[in-house]
Structure formats: C-alpha cells, structure tokens
Structure 1
Amino acid sequence: MEDEKNRTGPLMIALQYNDLFDLDSISASTNTEDALPKGRAVAFVKAVQTVNERLVEQNKSESLLFEVILIAKECSEEIKMKIVESVKYYGLEIGKFFFFKKEELINTLQSNKVKLFLSTDRDDVCEALHTGIPAALLYEQSDDHVLSQLKVIFSGDVIGFSEDSLDSLSDFGFSETQIETLKAAKICMKEFAVLIGQMKRRFGQENSPLCICVLTAWGSTNVCVSALKTLREWGLDVDEAFCLAGAPCSPILAVIKPHIIWDGGLHNMRDLSAHS
C-alpha cells in the first residue's frame, strides 16, 4: 500500500451554497443584516471540522485533512456577499468560494481536483458521475441533529459486484450508460475509500470521529460480503454493514443518519430485486 506518510492533502470536497444555507426561507421581509438561515450541510461541515481538529491534535503537521470548498451557481452580488459573511458568522471552515454560471459546474469541479462533490440535488450528482467526477448524495439532515461522528455510507451494490457482474445488469433493464456510470462510480469510490481509510487508521477503534457503513440495498448476502472484502483490500475498515435484499432503505437511513451516501447514482436508476 502507498506510504501514508508521503500522502499530501487536502482531500477536497465541494458543496453547493443552497445546501449550506436555506435560501428558500428568505423573504422580502428578512433583515438583510442577519446571517443566512442554516441549511442541511451545516452538520456535515461541523463533522468534517471535528475530524480535522482530531487529526491535528494528534499530529500538528498532518497534511491529510478535509478541505471544503463552496460553489454557487448564478446568484446575485448581494447573495454572494451574504454567503461569505454567513460562513464567517457561523464559524464554518470553507477553504474557497466559487461563483459561476450553471453550465460551468463540471469545469469548476474538475479544475479544483475535487475528490468528492456532495449535493442534495440528485440530477447534479448524476451529471458529475457521468463525467467521471466523484459525486455522492448529501443526506438531508438539519443542523438540529448534530452528530459526534462523520458518517459515510458506501453502496455494497456497487462495490460488491465484479465488472463482469455489472455487465450482467443489462438483463435487469439497466442501460449501457447506467452500467458505465456504476463502473466509473466504483473507481471513484476506491480513491476516496483509500484516503478515508488512511484517515481512519490515524484513530483507534474507539471514540473515532469517523464511522463507515456499507449498505447493500438489493444485492444478496454474497454481494454484501464481497463489498466488505473489497473495502478491506482498499484499506478501509467498516464499522457497520446492512444487507437489505430489496427491503426499503428509509428506516435504516433514518436511524444511521449518514452525512454521505455513496450509491453511484443508483438513486436515479430503476429498482432491482435481489440479485446474487
């Protein structure tokens, strides 16, 4: 495995401003001097900051840290100023701000070598995946539910299948484009999993600020086991695993309350029955 001491950071994650702040609740009567209302991504940023703080506590020269950048599509100059001011007001550690036109999203992510693009917008996630950019769903949670750990769910359905097995998904109605997206997602997952694995090994098994889960939504137990083995080969230890075999995901997600759901775009694809 790559010498972890030679690994230089940061691990770049991109968020959208409308996930960090709740712009839908702003009205004409809103006091322009007030900070923007908190959005669903605030809990994620706080969890990331906790991981970074713990890493630096252990090693002041640590280079493998998260860096969050904030991107904003087509917003007014007034909102741009409010975004920057609100980030400072809430004490959120945002490395850079990028304001651009809607069609420049992919170029902005690529030029900044983003390791993970997080969004609650399923279409944006799929668009990024189709162009080879690592992307995942930001789980919709409010800042009222502050978690002590950064929780990441990896899709056992994507990781647990071999390339040949993914090709066979055409028999279940998946298009060639969707299958290629899943293959690309697995490659992206590996890079991120390796880096998270390095971070996780900085901490002991107990009181870790990182919690890694595997969720196999429609695959069989064998697929789930294969996913666990693959993640272990990538150097990432899993804390919790769930094999649902076609059962609804919502009850489990409501309990886990993850920050990140890596499902390779499965949320925009047709449901499948259990597959061995």
Structure 2
Amino acid sequence: MPDTLNDKLVVAISSRALFNLEAGHKVFEEEGLEAYRHYQVEHEDCVLEPGEAFLLVRKLLNINHLLGDVPRVEVILLSRNSADTGLRVFNSIEEYGLDIRRAAFCGGESPYRYVPAFNSHLFLSTDVDDVRSALKDGFAAATVLSSISKERQETDELRIAFDGDAVIFSDEAERVYQQSGLQAFTEAERSSAHQPLPGGPFKPFLAMLQDIQLEFGERHCPIRTALVTARSTTAHERVIRTLRSWNIRLDEAIFLGGLDKGAFLKAFQADMFFDDQVRHCDSARAHVTTGHVPHGVTNELKERVLNTESEQEE
C-alpha cells in the first residue's frame, strides 16, 4: 500500500523561506541563470544558513519525536531550483538533521501548483505571487518577511500567533470597517455577536494544530497558539462565540484596541505570526518571524491602487 499524507499536518515551504539563499539569489539577479547554476554547484558542500522559517520547521518536525508513534507532521520542500542546483539544499537539510523526505524542484517554474497535490495545510514562501495563487486556490499561505531584528528568545514550545479578520476568520467584518468606519463595525459586531463568522484561509491549519495539541492529552503540550487582534474588547464576543462554534480553542487571546502588535508578540515569544495587514507585519517583524497573508479587502484595495498607478504611468 502506498504512503499517504492523510491525517498529517502538511506544511509546504520554499527553499528561500527555509534557508538563507540571498547570496545565490543576488548572483541570479545580477548575472543570470547560468552564473547562478555555477555558483550553487561550486558551493554545494557549503551548508546554508537558516532562513526566516527554519526555527518554525525544526519545531514542527520535533513534534513527531515527542509523539513517538505515527508521524503527525510532514514538511514538504518546494523550490524553483532544479534538482541539480538544489543539491546544496539537500545537503543542508541533511546537515541540520531535518526529517524532510519529500520535495519538488521545478526548474525555474513556480512550485505553488504542488501545494494542493501534497494536500498542504500551509504554504510558506518568499514569493508573493506564489502565495497569492495558493490563497486564491483556498490554501493557507503567507509571504515570509525578512526580520528587522535577529534577536530571538527561543523556547522549547512551538508558539504560533494569528491575526483574526482575513486570517482565521473571513474579512466580512473588516469590509464593514473599511466601508463604514469603526462605529459601524462595532455596532455590526455587537448585533451579530451570536452569528459565527465565516472561516478564513487559516481556519483548517489552526484546526489541525489543535487536533495535534489534543493528542498530547494530560502531557505537557509543546504547541501554544494565540490570537493577537487589533479588535478591542467591545468587539470580542463574536470572536469568542465563533471559535466556540468551531470547537477550536486558542491558548491566548489578546485584544489590543488598535495598539501596535510587535511588543505583545515579543512577549508571547512567537515563532511565527500571521497577519493580512502590512502595517501590523512591519510592527511584528521587528521582534518575531512574520508571514504576510495577502488576502482580504485591505489587500484588494492596495492592489487596486497599485494597478491604477501602473495604468497611469503607462
């Protein structure tokens, strides 16, 4: 019987999110594909430095060792490299002892088309177009941003934080805020407090994380999750009731009422934070590894402005 990925948390990640490939990428941009190929072959025995999402991946894979029996987490490498130029990536995976057994090397083409083929719950990449494509296909995906600060207070736990609207939840409430302002948003959320929000792109990923948390039972669970939202406590009830209706429990919920998120994510010691708004991502990445989720009305509005400016320039 062939192996399957059923009942596993599957995380697909690009090689540039897993490892620091900036030197090679600079060669590609400045000198072209052939120079890049020579560079990677010449350096294939040089171990790559960890990338922005390396710690997240290492902690995810460590869950398999802690559970012991059947592996519950699968990390898939997706790369624009060819298998030839990607040999350095393979060597680095082995050097760091990462249990990554499956990969797709796409020879210059976008690898996102393999996200559904691998039944992925999450796709992490540094290529925003690939991330947008995965989101449009209904998969949780984020553009991994470069960190402003390299300081990390590493814990043994895997700690993941999420924004709410347009990430865990749909952007339904955010659309009201964008169109009609804060007062209308607050009134709408109060009047709809008993009506669950539709799920956003990260709902299935969060649900699978919780399934794994529950497997630890009475043992200490190495996974901790948090909702870190700009909502204030005046708009909290619908969020709580929505999660309750989904039978999903977050370990922490922080309602900031518009405060910058960075300091709170530092206090939570997040290994990764996911948010749809660039300004919140900029605040977060000063302290923690951050994934921008280019989804929802805020990003749609931004894309429209950029497209209009581009048309005017033409």
The TM-score bracket by the shorter chain reads 0.7 to 0.9
1:205 CA displacement = 6.8
* Correspondence for 2:22: 24
1:40 CA displacement = 2.0
1:16 CA displacement = 0.8
Q: Does the 8 Å CA contact 2:61/2:75 hold for their aligned counterparts?
A: no
**From 87, 90, 98, the counterpart of 1:84:** 90
1:72 CA displacement = 0.8
Is 1:155 aligned with 2:163?
Answer: yes
Task: Please list the CA deviations of residues 12-64 of structure 1 after superposition, one character each: whole Å capped at 9, or x if unmatched.
Answer: 111110111112246869854222222222211211122222222xxx2x46x
Secondary structure in 2 matching 1:261: strand
Is 1:110 aligned with 2:116?
Answer: yes
Task: Please list the CA deviations of residues 86-114 of structure 1 after superposition, one character each: whole Å capped at 9, or x if unmatched.
Answer: 11111011131111155533322122221
* Correspondence for 2:214: 201
* Correspondence for 2:77: 70
TM-score by length of 1: 0.74
> Matches of residues 103-142 of structure 1 in structure 2 within 5 Å?
103-138=109-144
Task: Please list the CA deviations of residues 217-236 of structure 1 after superposition, one character each: whole Å capped at 9, or x if unmatched.
Answer: 2x232434432332233233
Root-mean-square deviation over aligned CA pairs: 3.4
Structure 2 gaps, min length 5: 28-38, 182-197, 279-293, 300-314
1:159 CA displacement = 6.7
Identity of aligned residues (%): 26
* Correspondence for 1:245: 257
The answer to which structure, 1 or 2, has the higher relative contact order (CA under 8 A, 6+ apart) is 1
* Correspondence for 1:42: 54
Q: Does the 8 Å CA contact 1:38/1:143 hold for their aligned counterparts?
A: no
Aligned AA (2:102)? K
1:119 CA displacement = 3.0
Number of residue pairs the alignment of both structures matches: 246
Instruction: Label 1:193 to 1:14 Cα distance change in 2 as closer, same or farther (>3 A).
Output: same
> Matches of residues 163-242 of structure 1 in structure 2 within 5 Å?
165-171=173-179, 186-204=199-217, 207-217=220-230, 219-242=231-254
Q: Does the 8 Å CA contact 1:152/1:261 hold for their aligned counterparts?
A: yes
Secondary structure in 2 matching 1:68: strand
In structure 2, distance between residues paired with 1:231 and 1:159: 13
Is 1:95 aligned with 2:106?
Answer: no
Q: Does the 8 Å CA contact 2:83/2:105 hold for their aligned counterparts?
A: no
1:132 CA displacement = 1.9
Aligned AA (2:243)? L
Moved more, 125-134 or 237-246: 125-134
* Correspondence for 2:277: 266
* Correspondence for 1:4: none
Instruction: Label 1:103 to 1:257 Cα distance change in 2 as closer, same or farther (>3 A).
Output: farther
Instruction: Label 1:233 to 1:154 Cα distance change in 2 as closer, same or farther (>3 A).
Output: farther
Instruction: Label 1:228 to 1:95 Cα distance change in 2 as closer, same or farther (>3 A).
Output: farther
* Correspondence for 1:10: 8
Task: Please list the CA deviations of residues 228-264 of structure 1 after superposition, one character each: whole Å capped at 9, or x if unmatched.
Answer: 332233233222211122111222223334233333x
Q: Does the 8 Å CA contact 1:116/1:134 hold for their aligned counterparts?
A: yes
Instruction: Label 1:149 to 1:161 Cα distance change in 2 as closer, same or farther (>3 A).
Output: closer
Aligned AA (2:161)? I
Instruction: Label 1:161 to 1:38 Cα distance change in 2 as closer, same or farther (>3 A).
Output: closer
In structure 1, distance between residues paired with 2:106 and 2:172: 40
